[in-house]
Each structure stands twice: as structure tokens, then as C-alpha cells.
Amino acid sequence: MNTLTLAWIGLPFFVGFSIYLIPKFAKYLAIFGALASAAYAFQLFAMPSAVTLQLLDNFSVTLLVDRLSGYFILTNALVTAAVIIYCWPTEKTAFFYAQILMVHGSLNAAFASSDFISLYVGLEVSGIAAFLLIAYPRTDRSIWVALRYLFISNTAMLFYLVGAVLVYKASNSFSFAGLGAAPPEATALIFMALLVKGGVFVSGLWLPLTHSESETPVSALLSGIVVKAGVYPLVRCALMVEEVAPIVQIFGVGAALMGVFYGLFEKDTKRLLAFSTVSQLGWILVAPEAAGFYALAHGLVKSALFLIAGSLPSRDFKVLRQKQINTKLWIALVVGSLSISGFPFLVGFGAKMLTLKNLTPPYAIAMNVAAVGTAILFAKFIFLPRGGEAKSKPGFWPAVLLLLGGLIAANAFDVQAYTLENMLKAIAIIGVGWLAYFLIFQRTAIKLPRMLEQFDHLVGFMSLISLLLFWMALPQ
């Protein structure tokens, strides 16, 4: 298993660089890279215990793969495969596929690492490759959005490096477990950077613009999996070091509520999906025990929804309400929306119930509110008029069917959630959400200011969030 793990980490990079040598086979090589990861993830689920690898000495790279990373790796593989299939009939160059594999490989490395430096390398490489994907159309706007993304993530990662060396100073190793012995400023700096990278709470306000202004397949990739690279280490630290778990949970609740709040007043489909990502990342953080399963559920559904939103006739809800959308497209949209709202028989239900089961009362109340909010957000999609005739792109259906099929098949991971009580609860949450949508939110025309999404404020908030984290991490 050790050799297999190392080969699996190296494979996407090897295949990705081979694409430059044989650009004719770019698509085939790319899909091969993604499928190999999926096979590895299933191998992980079959393993009885976690695999830990310590290369060389206790100063160097440590890797840890278990069921939690298995879920993230499987999500990564499925989302990447769906995006490649979506792009199959288009005229994308070999460069594009090579970058997709770079993102895929660096995320795999991030999901397997359990020390701060390997994680740093994984996050930075994924940031660079994501930058190249966002800037792929070469328009001024795409270049600015990509530059803004890279600038913010790199500034955060510089703080992260300072935090990492503080951990090293305290425990003479870079491993995650050293965080327990590290001073509070180390926790503050590292967590602030991961919150920025993962798009959580106020630090994540760079995310709506980046995810909504990218091309459809790139947004699916970014929202489906790239942001999870920032969330995974937070979850892993919360599981390894008991003292930091409450910090992670509080930020999870904050993100879940903030994302929903912003989303309620959003008039644009892709921005609404992006805000919903902010909220769902909070769901992943709030219950570290259930994080892997939730990440799988969210990754599949969000990339499917982004692909579908790219095929809708307009991005503006006002225009969409006047037009009829293709019935088949509408059915796909409803399946995705129901899953993310937590409707039974789709994986979102099992994930939500597992998360809620792992929470203590004050958190559970807040998360139930967030669940109702999510149902309101997606009622906006479900109650769009249907019956129109519109052709979809050739690669669209195979990709979306793969993701939606995954939504149903992934139920197998958690069959215990299907009790009568849980099902009634889920339906009640959705019912309350839809009622609120019809009574209040269908007609609201409030526009929230976007001031906090400006570049300078995003950078400034890094210092405020680190101060807040420092205060939270101080030993009581």
C-alpha cells in the first residue's frame, strides 16, 4: 500500500507533463489520471486502518491517508472526471487538460499530507494551476479575477509560512500534531490562511466573484473541489488536536449562516451557487467526524449545479422567470437542488443527518436554521418555469449524469440515516424553507452592498481575522 500511495501521488503530475509531449492524447491521458485516483480511493475504503507514511526522518514529509481523505480523494476524482467529460467536445487545448491534472494532483497531495510543509506545497501548486485555468480565456476580466485570486491566496500563505515555522520552533517538527504544543499565534496565522484558502466565513468573500466569473467547467472544478483543499487540513487538525476543534466549529457555524444570508438576496444564478458554497463549507467544518461524507455530497452536487447553470439561457433570475427552460434540464436542476436541500433518497440527506447527529444543541439549532436557509436558496431554482426547447452542449449530459448518478449511488455509504424520524425532519425543513420562499423571499428586491468583496478589504480582513483567531486560541 505504501508504494501504491507514492505512485498515486506522483501519477497525475507524470501524466500531466506527458500531455505536453503527446498533446494528441490529452483528453485520454487526463481522464486516465482522474480514474486512477477514483480506483485508489476505493482501495482506501477497503483498507481496515489508516496508512501512515514517514519518509526519511522525523523532520520530513509525513503522509496520512484514511477514510476521511478517501472521501475527499473520491470527490476530487469524480469532479475532475466530470469536468473533463464536459470539455471533451470543446476546442480546449492540451494546456487546459494538463492544468486540470496539475490541480488534481496537487489536491491529491494536499489530501494525503499530514505535515504543514507538504500541505503548503500542495496548496500553492493548486493555486497556481487554478490561476492558469481561470485566466485561460485571456480576457482582461478573467486575468484580473485570476490575479486577484492568486494575490489573496499567496498573501495568506505567507502568513501560513510564519505560522508553520512557529510550530517547528515549539515542537521541532512540522507535523499537524505539533499544533497542540504551539503558541496561539501559530494557530492564528495557520488557521487564518486556511480559512482564506478554503473560502470560509468573512475570509471567503473573494470566492463569489472568482467562482461566478470563471468559465463554467472551471467554476465547477473550483467550487467542487479546489476550496476543499483549504477545509480538509482544518478538519484534520480539529480531529488530531482537541483544543482547536471548537474554533473550527464556530467558524463553520458562522460560514454556514453568512453564506445563506448573502445568498438569500442574490439575483444571479452563479453568484448564488458561490454563496451556497461558502455556506456548505461551513457544514463541512461544523462536524469534523462527518466532514468527509459531507464533502463528497457537496462536491458532486455543486459541480453538477454549476454545469447546469452554465446551460441555462441567462444568469439573471428575473430573466429566467420569464423564460421556459428545457424540461430535461429542469429535472436535472431539481435533482441537484433537492439533494443540496437534504431531500431523502439523495446523498445530501444522509450527509445532513449525519452532520446534525454529531452536533451539540447550540450548534444543532444554528445548523437547522442554515438548512432551512439552504432550502429557500434552492427553491429559487426549483420553481423556475419549465417546458422550453433548448439544445444543450454535447458533453453536458454525460458529465451531469455521472455526477447525479454519484448522488444516488453515494447513499450506500450511509444507509442508517433512513429512519422515519429523519425523513420527516428533512421534509419539514424543506417545507418550511419553501413556505418562507413563497411568503417572503420571492418578492424581495434588496440588494446587499458588495463593498467587502473589494480587494483592499479582503486583504485587510486577513489581519482582523488573525487577531480574532489569536484571541480565540489563547489558553483560557
Which residues contribute to the site for other proteins (CB under 8 A)?
A: 59, 117, 120-121, 124-125, 127-128, 131-132, 135, 138, 140-141, 143-148, 150-151, 154-155, 158, 161-162, 165, 168-169, 174, 209, 213, 450, 454-456, 459-460, 463
Q: Which is nearer to other proteins, 127 or 299 (CB)?
A: 127
- Which three cell numbers, joined as nine digits, stand for 213? 466569473
Nearest to 356 by CA among 374, 370, 345, 346: 370
* Least Cβ distance, residue 270 to other proteins (angstroms): 10
Instruction: Classify strands 386-388 and 325-326 as parallel, antiparallel or unpaired.
Output: parallel
Q: Which is nearer to other proteins, 75 or 203 (CB)?
A: 203
Q: What share of the chain is helix, strand, coil (3-state, %, to 5)?
A: 80, 5, 20
**Residue 27: its H or E element:** helix 26-46
Its sign, for the CA torsion 273, 307, 293, 422, is positive
Q: What DSSP string runs through 176-238?
A: GGGGGTS-HHHHHHHHHHHHHHHT-GGGGGGHHHHHHHS-HHHHHHIIIIITHHHHHHHHHHH
Instruction: Using DSSP, state whether 261 is helix, strand or coil.
Output: helix
Q: Which is nearer to other proteins, 43 or 154 (CB)?
A: 154
* Least Cβ distance, residue 384 to other proteins (angstroms): 21
Q: Which is nearer to other proteins, 321 or 450 (CB)?
A: 450
Q: Which is nearer to other proteins, 314 or 368 (CB)?
A: 314
Q: Which is nearer to other proteins, 165 or 401 (CB)?
A: 165
Burial class (CB in 10 A: 0-12, 13-18, 19+), 452: middle
* Least Cβ distance, residue 329 to other proteins (angstroms): 24
Residues 6+ apart with CB under 8 A from 238: 244, 245, 248, 249, 285, 288
Q: Which is nearer to other proteins, 156 or 473 (CB)?
A: 156
* Least Cβ distance, residue 427 to other proteins (angstroms): 37
* Least Cβ distance, residue 213 to other proteins (angstroms): 7
Distance CA 62, CA 236 (A): 14
* Least Cβ distance, residue 460 to other proteins (angstroms): 6
DSSP structural state of residue 417: T
* Least Cβ distance, residue 42 to other proteins (angstroms): 32
